[in-house]
Amino acid sequence: MSSHGDPIPMTSSKSGPLAGIAHVPGDKSISHRSLILGALSVGETRVTGLLEGQDVLDTGRAMQAFGADVINHGGGEWSVHGVGVGGFAEPEQVIDCGNSGTGVRLIMGAMATSPIVATFTGDASLNGRPMGRITDPLALFGTQAYGRQGGQLPMTLIGAAEPVPVRYTVPMPSAQVKSAVLLAGLNAPGQTVVIEKEATRDHTERMLTGFGAEVSVEQTDAGRVITLTGQPELKPQSIVVPRDPSSAAFPVCAALIVEGSDVLIPNIGLNPTRAGLFTTLREMGADLTYENEREEGGEPVADLRAKFSPDMKGIDVPPARAASMIDEYPILSVVASFAQGKTYMAGVKELRVKESDRIDAMAVGLRANGVEVDETEDSWTVHGLGPNGVAGGGTCATHLDHRIAMSFMCLGMAATSPVKIDDGGAIATSFPIFESLMTELGAAIRRDNR
């Protein structure tokens, strides 16, 4: 089952060359945060280039349920009339966050220190994911949570009526946990401190500062220490959402493996906490260049040019880079299948608790297409077969996971025989124009008649 309807089986066949300009949608992480922080500020926040994927639309609906006014003006232009920090109303209905871990976890943080009750649910993927990592730190503020066994959704949160500020060291590399604690800290008096041992994406810190909150970041021996002064009045902003490097990863990687390709992907955010995949690909010998490098809205941005790269070599991806490319390992494993030699990816056990167990989902699907993969709990190795070496011919289960679905579609574009997926429905959560964009570049992908 796709997240919001019947399964959509798809087939991807040997394609190419891929050529042209690929305008990918807005950044998913920044889109969620624009709506949530817009809802927590007083007045009208304007957002340009919002990702209109299902995950973000679900967050927009949730913000409305908490009392904000979220208006779609068309063409990626949105506005949010916020209710201010501590101003959330109690929702009348259950909040359905669909497929989105980012949505539900950030929203739980945002409501956790207001004296209201809310019940959260999602699709089968989201309802199987761990929420204890959020409710444990929220309990320190005084928030109560009642979920299913194992700390899973559906779950009811009772917000703290008299929240206390918190000092919390995030036990796993997770921007969602860090962000949930910071958003909860907004309505607690005094200073909330979050310590992360490894840097994860820093959009929440950057955006909170942009909305006028007092946030300081210090690098210490214990890690990154983020200090937020509670109960600010957030001021509405005009936000231009940069294009998503995690979505750009698909046309970039497809171009690298499809013979003769040359694709330009303009205006991609290259925040160092997000750009680890591109560094890795260049280390493998990919013909990937940054053109027109510049700064926009405080974020580094460039146009990416990716060309067919038949001479890529497998590498050991440094575990310290994992957080900066955590969503890109599935598509990296596809590129690694077309490189010479082994690609070893370690320090990645977080991949097991994403929209699916991404190590397992990719390993099973790659093996079904003739690629050898070894795995341990927190590492995996892909044995590359070179530019023409992947047989294909397999059918892959996508487990309601958009990135698994798009990765196998890219595999099929360069494999000898077509690759099938059981359901591409989840692609709409983050990259609703994936099929049309890739087809225009020259990809042979289609929905199957059932």
Active-site amino acid positions: 327
From the list 327, 422, 423, 435, which residue makes contact with ligand S3P (rule: CB under 6 A)? 327
List the one residue out of 217, 218, 157, 229 whose CA is nearest residue 186. Answer: 229
Packing angle between helix 434-441 and helix 245-257, nearest 10 degrees? 30
- By C-beta, is 112 or 326 nearer to ligand S3P? 326
* Secondary structure (3-state) at 157: strand
**First-last CA distance in the chain:** 14
Nearest-angstrom CA–CA distance, 397 and 420: 9
Under the criterion CB under 6 A, does residue 280 sit at the interface with ligand S3P? no
Those residues with Cβ within 8 angstroms of residue 449's Cβ, 6 or more apart along the chain or in another chain:
none
Beta carbon of residue 416, minimum distance to ligand S3P (angstroms, whole number): 32
Helix pair angle (28-39, 203-210), 10° resolution: 40
Least CB distance to ligand S3P at residue 140 (A):
18
- Asked if 373 contacts 333 with a C-beta cutoff of 8 angstroms, the reply is yes
Helices (H), 218-328: 245-257, 276-283
Spatial contact of 170 and 139, defined as CB atoms under 8 Å apart: no
Nearer to ligand S3P (CB atom), residue 326 or residue 427: 326
Nearer to ligand S3P, 43 or 432 (CB): 432
Binding mask of the shown chain, residues 82 to 121, with x at each position contacting ligand S3P by CB under 6 A: --------------------x-------------------
Taking CB under 6 A as the rule, does residue 326 contact ligand S3P? yes
Site string for ligand S3P, 150-179 (x = CB under 6 A): ------------------------xxx--x
Q: Is 201 in the site for ligand S3P (CB under 6 A)?
A: yes
Q: Sheet with 215-220: list strands edge to edge.
A: 167-170, 191-196, 223-229, 215-220
Residue 131: what residue type?
M
Euclidean distance between CA atoms 386 and 26, whole angstroms: 33
**Closest distance to ligand S3P from the beta carbon of 385 (Å):** 28
Say how many C-beta atoms besides its own lie within 10 A of residue 236's C-beta: 19
Binds ligand S3P by CB under 6 A, chosen from 12, 29, 41, 429: 29
Sheet holding 42-48, edge to edge: 69-74, 77-83, 42-48, 238-240
In the range 348-367, which residues lie near ligand S3P by CB under 6 A?
350, 354
CA distance 446 to 278: 28
Instruction: Confirm if 263 and 20 have CB atoms less than 8 A apart.
Output: yes
Round to whole Å and give the CA distance between 276 and 361. Answer: 22
For ligand S3P, the closer CB: 5 or 130: 130
Using DSSP's 3-state secondary structure scheme, residue 399 falls into: coil
Measure the CA–CA gap between 51 and 244, rounded to whole angstroms: 9
Residue 347 to residue 7: CA distance in whole angstroms: 33
Determine, following the binding rule CB under 6 A, whether residue 396 of this chain makes contact with ligand S3P. Answer: no
Nearest to ligand S3P of 96, 327 (CB atom)? 327
d(CA 397, CA 27): 26
Q: Which of 415, 354, 307, 369 is nearest to 17 (CA)?
A: 307
Residues lying near ligand S3P in the complex (CB under 6 A): 29, 102, 174-176, 179, 201, 326-327, 350, 354
